[in-house]
Chains A and B, each alone.
Chain A
Amino acid sequence: MAEISLGRALNRALHDALDGDPDVLVYGEDVGALGGVFRVTDGLTATFGEDRCFDSPLAEAGIVGTAIGIAMYGQRPVVEMQFDAFALPAFEQVVSHVAKMRNRTRGRVELPLVIRIPYGGGIGAVEHHADSSEAYFAHTPGLRVVTPATPADGYSMLREAIECPDPVVFLEPKRRYWATADIELPVRTEPMDRAVVRRPGTDVTLIAYGPMVATALEAAEAGQREGRDIEVIDLRSLSPFDEETVTESVRRTGRAVVVHEASTFGGYGAEVAARVTEQCFHYLEAPVLRVGGLDIPYPPPKLESYHLPNADRILDAIDRLQWESEWVPGGTGGQPPLHQTGVGA
């Protein structure tokens, strides 16, 4: 066992994938000599040569567009978008071609490509370096959208994404790149399209993914001290959505809170809340709540803590689930906080 960070685990996954299959290629902006701005591709060019890991022209649509052609020819490109907001020039290629090629061609052409995107905030970065774009991708049929929250999943899910015959948008929670775990690599965790229960509990289900899993676990720990037995689910795959694991949990606990960093309005949490309500309505003791980022453009770094959900906000939301009748609609003095919606008031 060794202390391994998410960033290193991803690096090792790329290394092992390149080593195991000559058709795997890694390219993007600054991924060669520099090893990527987050060093996820560190050392790959030195080990495997410029033919396998290389710097491309600085053009995201071109990176994804060429990856489409490479995948059409049966190879397996893994491309890096440097930061979330800079994947947007490639958005048309992703939505109009990556997601649709299999369907357009009646399954005759598959695109086994992976688009790695460091996403989310919490690292004190300036404008356009901290967005969460998962809802845009998850809304697009034909894409698999996954996000690991732990080093072990980082390794395992990236290997699986590269082996997957479908295109995968692989969202890397950049604030967790340096989070470590004591693990032995290589490792294979649960299949990438399955959600997992990170912490069992009986009173309420917290549904989180990517950067918010750690925050939800933190909230669960703190809640434990207050006498709450909180279950935490790590979705891992945003699309397809693992309804089974989530439904089973919420039917058992009767209460659910979805947590994500992205702005709440029209966000991925709305989809989860709607699905949970549809599947678990008769088991629910309270409305499904969302704790998400504020509905504002991502704030400047010195103000980002006001935007990002933290353990306190999650615990506040849990309090609002009419726990032992301690919360009465309208009884807490005024409006629910901005970051919480769906409260039956």
Chain B
Amino acid sequence: MKRTDELAGSAPPLPSQEPIRLVDPQGHRVGEAEYLTPEPGTLLALLRAMIIGRRFDRQASALARQGRLAVYPSSHGQEACQVGGVLALADDDWLFPTYRDCVSLVTRGVDPVEVLTLLRGDWHSGYDPEPHRCAPQCTPLATNASHAVGLTYAARRKGQDAAALVLMGDGATSEGDAHEAYNFAAVWNTPVVFLIQNNRWAISVPVDKQTAAPTLAHKAIGYGMRGYNVDGNDAAAVHAVVSHALAEARAGGGPAIVEAQTYRLDPHTNSDDPQRYRDDAEVEYWKARDPLTRLEALLRGEGLLDDAEVERMSAEGERLAADVRERLSGPDRLTPEELFSHVYSTAPAMLRRQRQELLDEMRKG
């Protein structure tokens, strides 16, 4: 057992009170020696993914209004977190998203229609987790965080250096499961980055009612891991810090919490009424810090982007939206008999009987 004074030397530094920022809201670089601003190619990729992601998000919100989705939790305004985090992942890494993280899944390359399956309501998860290494979207808060710890632990046992990115909200950090996952990750020293999208609100509850910690990143200290506080509307900064944390974790430096300061511009879901708990001024303040316009301004200012390129990216977003619209139009294609197929590896007699009863019932109409 180490003595306290010996331990003090190895404790991770406190996260900064001011979020790490590489690009200011006007689109100018700000000096930040520690974190490398991504290369122009990466910056363009970030902008492209955010433009496509936002278009997808707008389309999904519209589909929810039309009743084509059962519900949609928008991530409008949080694109820098989802895109910046996901583009920092290597192909072999895993993503553990929540219901709010559809844009992260689209960015990861999952078919956008399959991304919406959960929210459309014809199955719980629409995609095969394996090919894109994306766990199913998680609805109970914080419960998937420990799955990521176990998965990376198993990978390391096999001599593979897969890391994992867990997306979670500010509210979710109050859950016991979050605590257990942070602690397991730190004790087992597994390469997991917990990216907290602090969008200020857990439905109607503000973040200052969730925690008394100076920042959510500070929570990392108690577990003996590193915590980073980053401007969550600065895609370059999110990407740089998550990349840095992943690299450290892979090198054996342990897991990290990255808190991204961002904002949910839309209601919690399409059925929420934010007028009841927050004022318009707050929304306006954050609108002025839009992650897309910021990165676009930087790239234009530095001559890395022109109208034609923006046009091309937007057209990609339009094509994706049209494709989603097209494929989600028409009648539902439901497969009720499949309800019994995946409960066990082999269906027990009881389920085989119930399946037959349902089929008979359907035949009778």
Contact = CB atoms under 8 A, between A and B. Distances in A.
B343 A110 contact: no
B343 A141 contact: yes
Interface of chain B: mostly helix, strand, loop or mixed:
helix
A83 B313 CA distance: 57
Given A51-B157, A96-B140, A108-B129, A65 B344 contact: no
Interface stretch (B21-29, B33-41, B178-186, B230-238): B178-186
B341 interface: yes
A136 interface: no
B156 to A, nearest CB: 10
B177 A65 contact: yes
A42 interface: no
Interface in B112-168: 123-125, 128-130, 135-136, 140, 143-155, 157-158
B345 A65 contact: no
Contact of B350 (A51, A71, A103, A241): A241
A69 B146 contact: yes
Contacts of A102: 342-345
Contacts of A73: 150-151, 154-155, 158
A69 B149 contact: yes
Contact of A65 (B125, B129, B149, B152): B149
Interface in A153-167: 164-166
B348 interface: yes
A185 interface: no
A164 B125 CA distance: 24
Contacts of A108: 128-130
B341 A105 contact: no
Contacts, number: 135
A105 B157 contact: no
Given A66-B149, A243-B350, A105 B128 contact: yes
Nearest to A96: B140
Contacts of A93: 143, 146, 177
A142 B129 CA distance: 19
Nearest to B96: A69
A176 interface: no
A72 B155 CA distance: 10
A64 B146 CA distance: 8
A101 B140 CA distance: 13
Given A59-B180, A141-B343, A65 B350 contact: no
A105 B342 CA distance: 8
A180 interface: no
A56 interface: yes
B13 interface: no
B187 interface: yes
Interface in A225-257: 240-241, 243-244
Interface in A28-85: 51, 56-57, 59, 61-62, 64-75, 77
A182 B341 CA distance: 41
A243 B136 contact: no
Interface residues of B, number: 41
B143 A96 contact: yes
A66 B125 contact: no
A107 B341 contact: yes
B264 to A, nearest CB: 24
Contacts of A313: none
B349 interface: yes
A144 interface: yes
A51 to B, nearest CB: 7
B183 to A, nearest CB: 6
B180 A65 contact: yes
Nearest to A52: B157
Nearest to A275: B350
The CB with the most chain A CB atoms within 10 A, among B151, B152, B188, is that of B151
B125 A105 contact: yes
Interface in B240-278: none
Nearest to A74: B154
A61 B176 contact: yes
B140 A68 contact: no
A57 to B, nearest CB: 5
Contacts of A100: 124
Nearest to B136: A104
A61 B342 contact: no
A106 interface: yes
B345 A110 contact: yes
A69 B150 contact: yes
Given A69-B148, A92-B140, A104-B124, A59 B342 contact: no
Given A69-B146, A71-B150, A101-B136, 6 more contacts: A61-B143, A65-B184, A69-B150, A70-B153, A72-B147, A243-B350
21 contacts: A51-B157, A61-B176, A61-B180, A62-B180, A66-B184, A67-B150, A69-B146, A70-B153, A72-B147, A72-B151, A73-B150, A73-B154, A101-B136, A102-B344, A104-B124, A109-B130, A109-B136, A110-B345, A141-B343, A164-B345, A240-B349
